[in-house]
Chains A and B, each alone.
Chain A
Amino acid sequence: AQSVTQLGSHVSVSEGALVLLRCNYSSSVPPYLFWYVQYPNQGLQLLLKYTTGATLVKGINGFEAEFKKSETSFHLTKPSAHMSDAAEYFCAVSDRGSTLGRLYFGRGTQLTVWP
């Protein structure tokens, strides 16, 4: 089974500062990779995904993530944090080559943005 590790359950940044949320996966075969965001009392919204091609992926709301096979990582970044970015962020993977599409999630990182 896949394993996803998100380093840091809580990250705090000032408005305008760089956001860096870390994600590592365990599979020896690179999986499909996803970042989802969850605002309070809401479901999950897809921020971005990597399936194939360019390893730097741009998503919504100014976020981007880079797939690094050698580091088995898919860290999420945003150059300048905004107050509206405060939310919980989940990294997820699914098996490449599987027909099932099951997602394996990390435990999440709560992002706080200070004014």
Chain B
Amino acid sequence: DAGVTQSPTHLIKTRGQQVTLRCSPKSGHDTVSWYQQALGQGPQFIFQYYEEEERQRGNFPDRFSGHQFPNYSSELNVNALLLGDSALYLCASSFPEYYQETQYFGPGTRLLVL
């Protein structure tokens, strides 16, 4: 059983560009959350998707947007990239009945903005 997968693993962009990161949840999971982990920090919650809708959002600007597809996979889009967007972006998925208990994380996408 494949765990949570993310693509690409690494990405380099320049300021002002746009980026799309992708996540496939663990089999049977329908809830996907995205986190940003800046260097030397703990992960910060960006938003969560359930049934193709954004269910909750953290303290991130509208430049950060997402989407969930009918197969539960998800995308994170960041527009007008800033140097401060350089970070490891983590995707996590969870069981519908146990969303309160365990989130499984993918390996992350490391984004560098120059």
Contact = CB atoms under 8 A, between A and B. Distances in A.
Interface string B92-110: 1010000111111111100
Interface residues of A, number: 25
Residue among B92, B100, B102 with most chain A CB within 10 A: B100
Residue among B35, B45, B55, B94 with most chain A CB within 10 A: B45
B71 interface: no
Contacts, number: 66
B42 A107 contact: yes
A32 B103 CA distance: 12
Given A101-B48, A105-B43, A43 B100 contact: no
Interface of B: 4, 31, 33, 35, 40-45, 48, 55-56, 58, 90, 92, 94, 99-108
